[in-house]
Amino acid sequence: MNLILRPVAAEFSKILTTRMWWILALVLFGYIALIACGLAALFGGLDSGAISPDAVNSGGGTAGLTGLGSIPPLIYSFAASVGYVFPVLLGALATTGEFRHQTLTPTFLATPKRGRVLGAKTVALIVMGAALGVVALAASVGIGALVLGGFGIDPLLADGETWGLIGRTVLAMAVWAVIGVGLGVLVPSQVASIVIVLAFTQFIEPLLRFASTFTQITADIGKFLPGAASDALVGESFFTLASPGGAVLTSWQGGLVLLAYGLLATAAGYFISWKRDVT
């Protein structure tokens, strides 16, 4: 038992004794809070008539949304649909940092069974990813509900579905951290890893998802993209709303697809970099 718990505890201690985790948590909170606050104020203003729909150059879609009760979950879902890049970064930094700072040497000296170390890191990052999920939700739900309430809109906090969304968001953020670990062992170069995370999440995948909606066949493939799978898991997102009628996975399918990405990447990375000579 100790042989499993000790490496996990050591991985937690590695994360918590450097500054990266709280820097990411802080930026994540600020970023999501800003979005949630802005959107809640926008929709609240539209709903209460403080902002006339004509003043917002967003066509009929937005106006159609107001008053539908789908606004609170939409705002809350930004925790995962925008925030997911943070657990990926934390996971990727946790693995690539070991290569970059050559801490694999003391790590493997203390725990020579390397698979155990990678497993422990995955477990620790699942928990850290979930914690980042809580931070993101504190911003999207905490701030979002406050602002919505200020405009007299029911933030739906008594609604079971809202709490389901919150739980699935935490789950999604935890799995995204596993994907980060997997990416880190697949691409041990820290700079390359970070560039891939940012380019893929901020640019390539959104474009692919958008382009895939043009035909039925591509849409059937596009729904398996990690971001799409994540949105399916969370069950609510700006993207799903923006492409009505688009193919989506069910929530649990999305979760499994996302987890498969993380575990496959980690397993492949184990053979590609983790098992290699440490020179």
Residues that bind another protein (CB under 8 A): 2, 6-7, 9-10, 13-14, 17-20, 97, 101-103, 105-113, 277-279
CB atoms within 10 A of CB 125: 32
- What minimum distance in Å lies between the beta carbon of 56 and another protein? 45
Helix (H, G, I), strand (E, B) or coil at 41: helix
- Tokens 């809109």 map to which residue? 153
In the complex with another protein, the residue whose CB is nearer, 61 or 106, is: 106
- Closest to another protein by CB, 5 vs 34, is 5
Give min distance, CB of 93 to another protein, in A. Answer: 11
- Rounded to the nearest whole angstrom, what is the least distance from the CB of residue 18 to another protein in the complex? 5
81 closest CA partner among 276, 246, 217, 225: 225
C-beta closer to another protein: residue 40 or 123: 123
Tokens of 149: 């309430």
In the bound state with another protein, the residue whose beta carbon lies nearer, of 61 and 115, is 115
* 54/277 with CB nearer another protein: 277
Q: Name the minimum Å distance from CB 105 to another protein.
A: 5
Residues 120 and 8 sit within 8 Å (Cβ to Cβ): yes
Least gap, CB of 193 to another protein (angstroms): 16
User: 193 with 185: CB under 8 angstroms?
Assistant: no
Say what the alpha-carbon torsion angle 158, 163, 164, 167 is, to the nearest 10 degrees.
-170
